[in-house]
Amino acid sequence: MKTVYLIRHGETDHNAEGRAMGQMDIPLNARGLDQARQTAEFLRRYPIERIVSSDLGRAVATAEPLAGALGLAVEPDARLRELSFGILEGKTVAECELADPDAVERWRSGDFDAALPGGESRRALMKRTREVLEEIVAGPQAHVALFSHGGALNALHTHMLEHGNPAPREHIPRAFRFHNAAVSMAAWAEDQWRFLVVNSTFHLTEESRQLLY
C-alpha cells in the first residue's frame, strides 16, 4: 500500500486579505510560518520517505520544517504550482468581478477550458497534476508528502476520486476546499485511492480562518 500526504501551504497576507495569488510568489506570514512548524510536528510521526513541493516559496517554506525534522530534501516541482489566474492575480474576488465580470462568470461556470485573461485552464491544471500523481504511484516510495496549493490540491483530490471512471467529470469548480496548512491523506491499494483524511487542521492550535473563496 502507498500513502500520499497532501498539504496546503501555510497562511500568507494575501490569504488573510482574500486575494487570489495564483502563481505570484507570496511568502508565508508569521501565522503561516507557525502553521508550517506545527504541521511538521504532526507529520514527523509518519514514515514519510519523500517530500515534493510546488516550487513557489510559500509551499517550499511550509515543507522545509518537516524536511528538516526527517532529514529529507524538499524536491521542488513546478507542476504542483497553483493555477495561474493571469491578470487577476493579487486581487480580491470583488476586485476581480469589477475588473472583468464576464471572465469571472465564465470561470465560475466550471468550464474546463475557460481561463482568466493571461491565465491557465483547469484542463491544463488537471493534466500537470495527474502526471505528478501517476509518477508517485509508479515510484518506489511508500510514503510521499506533497505540499501544494488550494486549486492544485483540488485537482489532485479529484483525480483520486475519479480514478478508474471511464468518463470523469469535468465540472469541478470547488469539489474540495482546503484551509491553510490542512493535511489530507490517501492510500493507494488494490488499484484505487481511498481517502483517509481530508482537510484536517486538528494539528493546528489556532482556529482556521473562514474560507473566503
Q: What are phi and psi of 8, to 5 degrees?
A: -85, 150
Using CB atoms within 10 A of its CB, is residue 105 exposed (0-12), middle (13-18) or buried (19+)?
A: exposed
CATH number at residue 59: 3.40.50.1240
Alpha helices (H) along 1-149:
13-17, 30-43, 57-70, 93-99, 101-108, 122-138
pLDDT in tens, 46-58: 999 999 999 999 9
Question: Distance (Å, rounded) from C-alpha 102 to C-alpha 98?
Answer: 10
pLDDT in tens, 7-60: 999 999 999 988 989 999 999 999 999 999 999 999 999 999 999 999 999 999
Q: Is residue 25, in this structure, part of any structural domain at all?
A: yes
Question: Distance (Å, rounded) from C-alpha 55 to C-alpha 2?
Answer: 24
Taking a C-beta distance cutoff of 8 angstroms, is the pair 113, 170 a contact? no
Is 82 in the active site?
yes
Cell of 61: 517554506
Q: Is residue 210, in this structure, part of any structural domain at all?
A: no
Residues paired with residue 143 on neighbouring β-strands, in sequence order = 3
Q: Is residue 93, in this structure, part of any structural domain at all?
A: no
Is 143 in the active site?
no
Q: Is residue 98, in this structure, part of any structural domain at all?
A: no
The number of residues making up the chain comes to 213
Q: Which of 9, 14, 149, 179 is catalytic?
A: 9
Q: Which of 11, 82, 89, 120 is catalytic?
A: 82
pLDDT in tens, 63-109: 999 999 999 999 999 999 999 988 889 988 788 888 888 888 887 77
Q: Is residue 39, in this structure, part of any structural domain at all?
A: yes
Q: What percent of the chain has pLDDT over 90?
A: 71
Name the residue range of residue 155's domain.
Answer: 2-84+120-200
Residues paired with residue 75 on neighbouring β-strands, in sequence order = 52
Question: Distance (Å, rounded) from C-alpha 39 to C-alpha 189?
Answer: 26
Q: Cα dihedral angle (164, 188, 148, 92), rounded to 10 degrees?
A: 50
Residue 174: which pLDDT band, with cuts at 50, 70 and 90?
low
What pTM value is reported for the model? 0.93
Q: Is residue 114, in this structure, part of any structural domain at all?
A: no
* Number of domains the chain is built from: 1
Q: Is residue 20, in this structure, part of any structural domain at all?
A: yes
Q: Is residue 45, in this structure, part of any structural domain at all?
A: yes
